[in-house]
């Protein structure tokens, strides 16, 4: 687990079950879990069945955790970007150089977009919705 302080935002990055952090958040009645999904999790796409399936899992996990935390001040957020610059393109055998640069988002911009409007003080009671399509 890594920790970094950046202004008002305290970030802890972990890999594993969300239940590793949610009990502490719940006992403090404060915290935020941000899950990184993808718009590809909303629909099936040829040659991306496994990747899309794992992102659909992240979407459903987030929805379930939002319901579990609905009586608390704990925020569970799904970030579902579209085309983001990362190594996944090369891993899937589709070089990033083949992607139209006008549709690409840097990982930094993706993080900034996820944080826009989220103050950590307000909690939306709405289910995740599609805001972008590939």
Return mean pLDDT, the chain: 78
CATH of domain 25-115: 3.40.50.720
Q: pTM for this one?
A: 0.72
Per-residue pLDDT reduced to its tens digit, 101-128:
888 899 888 888 887 756 544 444 444 4
Is residue 45 among the annotated active site residues? no
Instruction: Verify whether residue 55 is a known catalytic residue.
Output: yes
6, 19, 45, 51: the active-site residue = 51
Find all residues with CB under 8 Å of 50, minimum gap 6, and list them.
none
Residues 26/69, Cβ–Cβ less than 8 Å: yes
pLDDT at 9 over 60: no
Task: Specify whether the CB–CB gap between 33 and 78 falls below 8 A.
Answer: no
Contact 65, 33 (CB under 8 A): yes
Query: Which segments of the chain does DSSP mark as H helices, in order?
Result: 22-28, 49-68, 88-91, 107-115
Q: Is 86 exposed, middle or buried (0-12, 13-18, 19+ CB in 10 A)?
A: middle
35-58 pLDDT, tens per residue?
889 998 998 888 889 989 999 999
Domain ranges for the chain, please list them.
25-115
Catalytic, out of 55, 57, 121, 123: 55
């Amino acid at each position: 687990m890594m920790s970094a302080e950046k202004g008002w935002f305290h970030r802890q990055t972990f890999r594993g079950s969300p239940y590793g952090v949610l009990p502490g958040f719940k006992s403090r009645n404060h915290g935020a879990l941000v899950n990184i999904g993808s718009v590809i999790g909303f629909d099936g796409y040829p040659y991306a069945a496994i990747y899309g399936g794992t992102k659909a899992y992240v979407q459903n996990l987030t929805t379930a955790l939002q319901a579990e935390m609905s009586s608390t001040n704990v925020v569970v957020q799904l970030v579902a970007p579209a085309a983001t610059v990362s190594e996944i393109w090369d891993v899937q055998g589709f070089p990033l150089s083949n992607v139209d640069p006008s549709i690409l988002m840097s990982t930094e911009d993706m993080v900034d977009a996820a944080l826009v409007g989220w103050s950590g003080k307000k909690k939306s009671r709405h289910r995740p919705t599609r805001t972008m399509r590939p």
